[in-house]
Every structure is written in C-alpha cells, then in structure tokens.
Structure 1
Amino acid sequence: MREAEALRAAYDGVTAALSPLSPMELLAPTRCHGWTVADVVHHLTSDAQRALVALATPAAGPATRTFVTYWQSTPSPAPDWESAEREAAASAWAGRRAASVARSPELLAGLWRSTSVAAVHAAFAAPHAFVATQGHVLSTPDLLTTLATEAVIHHLDLLLGLPTAPEPAVSTLDGLLALHGGVRPADWGIEDYLLKGSGRLALSTTDRTTLGPSAGLFPLLG
C-alpha cells in the first residue's frame, strides 16, 4: 500500500534524524514554539501509539472524515486572540510537562524507535477498511496519509535546531496530499506546501496574489 510506504519513509526519516544526537542535542529548539526536540519526539510517539490503537479499532463505513477534511476543525466564532494565545501556550506547556516525565531525552528517543517500528508494521498488516480515531471514522489509507503528513511536518520542525540532520522524505507524499481541496501553487514544492499550509511559514504577498481568495483558507491544518 502506497500510504503505508509513505508512513514508513516518514517515520524512518525521523529516526534517522534522531539516531546520532547527544542528550544536549535532543534539547535543541524546534519550530514548535516552546518545544525542544525531545518534546516533539514525545508528541510523535503519542501519535504512533494512537496509530496502533486506531489500526486495531475497526469501524463501520462510511468515513466521517477524509485525509483532507480530517484537518478541518469545527467552525467557531471570531477568535479572541489573547485567549487563543493562552490556549496555545497551555497546550505547549502541557506537552513539555508530559515529555519531562521521562528520566532522560534518550529514553524518549528509544521509545520512539520501538513504537514507530510497531506502528509501521501494523500499517502494512492493517486488515480493516475503516478505523476509528479521535471521534472520527477514516479509511485506513486516509489515516496513514494523515500520520505520514504529521510526521514529515514535525521532522521539518526538528531541523530548526538540527540544521545538519537528514531531510524528511517529502517526496513520498507527492500525489497523496490535497489539503483543503489541493490548494497548492505550481511553484511550491511539497516542503513549501507543508510549512505554509501548517502555518510554520507565513504567506508572502506574492503567495497571496497567486492564491487569491484561497489564501483565506490558510493555515490549512487545523
């Protein structure tokens, strides 16, 4: 299954970036504001654990979300920016506290390696057409696409503090991504699409002109 291959490449890429790191390098900053490399690894491990649960949780179809609509949050009133900032800070702080339970960042990296391998094995062996996760029903290929997408984005997050680390396997996502209907300018590579689509990089004036009304959809990942 192509989606399982994409997940394996995404998870292997994260592992390759972590493998040579010292304890201090695992505490380097990332694109995720307030999170170190170890914090991102903890988050990714939780995602791989969720994958294991989802792949063992069959659901009756049809799907309630696809790999496109999965990222869309429920519409809400105009945001109170101060409250939104406080919520984001509280979420980042909770992630840091959860990761700090481990006795060392190396233990987090080791847990990632074993959990990610198990998740990939489960992905290739997945027997169910539809699975349940986070209150939604997705087809198994769509679930794997969301997992691979998130792993590649977080791999890109790691590179802020690890500039010499291997790049993620973004090419494995080519042809799989169609976030919010496939809004992707022709001159954007997949990395641009992921960083701008997730709000890591701001849209330039040229981007907004090219996108037109679709610029209002960004960031694409909720």
Structure 2
Amino acid sequence: MPDERPIVSALTDAYTELARLIAPLAEEDGWRATRLPGWSVRDLIVHLLGDAQRALVALATPAPGPADRDAVTYWAGFVQTAETAQPDNRQIRVVRSLAVAHPWESLVETYTETTAAACTLAARTRPHDLISTQGHSLTTDDFLSTLVVEAAVHHLDLTDAGTRPGPPASALHLVRQTLDGLLGHPEPVGWDDVTYALTGTGRRALTGDETRKLKDDAVRFPLFS
C-alpha cells in the first residue's frame, strides 16, 4: 500500500487534534468565549463541523478545469477590510441558532465522525483531480491545504478559551507557507509559527517594532481573516 500523501497526513493530524481538543469539554465549556469576537466554543465547533461537511461534498464533486484558485490564492477572498473588520452579526446569529439546536454530546460526536470521514475520503482522492467549492475550482491537494489551514487557525481560536494543546506542527507549517505566499516572501520579523498565524490572520495586533520590520507590507496585515 502506498504511503499516505503528506497533505492527507497533515489533514488527519489537524482534524484528529481538534477532535481530541473538543472531546473532554463539558457542556458549560461550550459557551466560553474564543479569540473570535462574539463567537463561543460551541459556535466555533458548529462552524468547524460545517467545514468538514463542505469537505465531504467538495471531495465528491468533480469540477471542470482549469483550476482558478490554489492553496494560497484561495485565501485572497478572505482579506479583512475596514468594512469587514467588525464581527458579522448575521453570520454569528445563524451559527448560534444551529449551535443552540445541537445537543452538546451529539455535536461533539458528529464533529468527530464527520472529520474522520473527511480524512478517509481525502486519502482516496488523487492529488491533481479538480474539485469545486465556494464557487471555485482547485486541485484536491490545494483544497486539502485550505482545510488544514482553517483547522489550525480555528484550533488557535479555541486554545484561547483555556483549552490545550495547540495545532500540530504540520498544520502550522502550512499556515506559514500560506501566509508567506500571500505576502510574496518569507516574513522578515522572525515570528514563531503560532505568533505568525495569530498575527497574519488578525488575531494579534502588530507591535511598533514589527511594523517597522515589515515596512510597506505592514498595511497588508492581516493577510487573511
């Protein structure tokens, strides 16, 4: 049997660690705040479940070529502007209504089962097949990279709610690659992976010294959110 593709291993690591993070939480933990303003732990798990469900649909939905996004350019549509800097209250209300409707134990179990299924399906795909998601076409491996990045960033959102440990190194490495790709070159500040992930996605503000080191690139932060 051939070795598992690195991107499939990274997705499995990211989803497995998120499931392990969530599993021991009690129902009352579900209403604790996360790094995302206005989002509780329960809200974020519902969002993550939706992402895993989207993965199942996308991996089973072939797309005609050519690809119009890759693992980096996919995120160009998620750049924060002055108009989008505030929390999307409508999105939060929709997610909250779903979060309230899900019994806690069922939500955790469904998330664990769905992410495991997504990893199994991902392992059966071919790296250069095209899939369709959110109005775009990507290769399978580029799509899997976006799933890993999103899982890693939201894992960090959950750790701010008092849960540990953080995302696996393989997932954080892909976040770094994505942020460097959006920036156009390796970041010059010397951040560790977690700090870069938090700063590059707007979870952490730039310091004055970091702004000086970034020079003209400072105004481009966050690179996606």
Identity of aligned residues (%): 38
CA deviations 1:119-162 (Å, max 9, x no partner) are: 01111111461111000011111101110000011111011112
Distance 1:66 1:160 in 2: 30
- What letter matches 1:116 in structure 2? T
Closer, same or farther: CA 187–138 of 1 in aligned 2, 3 Å: same
Closer, same or farther: CA 41–184 of 1 in aligned 2, 3 Å: same
State the secondary structure of the residue aligned to 2:101: coil
Say if 1:170 and 1:191, in contact at 8 Å, map to a contact too.
Answer: no
State the secondary structure of the residue aligned to 2:131: strand
CA deviations 1:18-45 (Å, max 9, x no partner) are: 1111111222211111111111111001
1:186, distance to aligned residue in structure 2 (A): 5.2
Say if 1:34 and 1:93, in contact at 8 Å, map to a contact too.
Answer: no
Structure 1 unaligned blocks of 5 or more: none
CA deviations 1:82-122 (Å, max 9, x no partner) are: xx63x6222222221222121x2221111100100000111
Find the counterpart in structure 1 of residue 223 from structure 2.
Answer: 220
Note if 1:72 corresponds to 2:111.
Answer: no
Higher RCO (C-alpha 8 Å, min separation 6): 1
Say if 1:15 and 1:113, in contact at 8 Å, map to a contact too.
Answer: yes
In the TM superposition, structure 1's runs of 4+ consecutive aligned residues that sit over 4 Å from their partners are 78-81
Distance 2:116 2:59 in 1: 14
State the TM-score, normalizing by the size of structure 2.
0.87
- What letter matches 1:204 in structure 2? T
Give matches, 1:122-137, under 5 Å.
Answer: 122-127=121-126, 129-137=129-137
Closer, same or farther: CA 74–32 of 1 in aligned 2, 3 Å: closer
Distance 2:223 2:194 in 1: 14
Note if 1:161 corresponds to 2:161.
Answer: yes
State the secondary structure of the residue aligned to 1:113: helix
Closer, same or farther: CA 154–172 of 1 in aligned 2, 3 Å: closer
Distance 1:75 1:185 in 2: 21
- What letter matches 2:205 in structure 1? A
1:64, distance to aligned residue in structure 2 (A): 0.3
State the TM-score, normalizing by the size of structure 1.
0.89
